[in-house]
Amino acid sequence: MLERLEQGLDAVTRPVVFIAMAALIGVISLQIVSRVAFTAVGWTEEVARFLLIWITFLAATLAYRGGRHIAVTFVIDTLPGRSGSAARTLAHLVALAFLLALVVIGYRYMQMQSFQKSASLRLSMTWVYAVIPLTAALMSWTTLVALLHELVHGRPWRQHGEDGS
pTM of the model: 0.87
pLDDT band of residue 164 (cuts 50, 70, 90) is very low
**Alpha-carbon span 120 to 2, nearest angstrom:** 42
Check residue 47 and give left, alpha or beta (phi > 0: left; psi -120 to 50: alpha): alpha
CB-neighbour burial class of residue 21 (10 A; exposed 0-12, middle 13-18, buried 19+): middle
- The answer to whether residues 95 and 67 touch, using CB atoms and an 8 Å cutoff, is no
Write the pLDDT tens digit of every residue in 60-113. 999 999 888 877 777 887 888 888 889 989 999 999 999 999 999 999 999 999
- pLDDT > 90: percent of the chain: 66
- The answer to whether residues 160 and 21 touch, using CB atoms and an 8 Å cutoff, is no
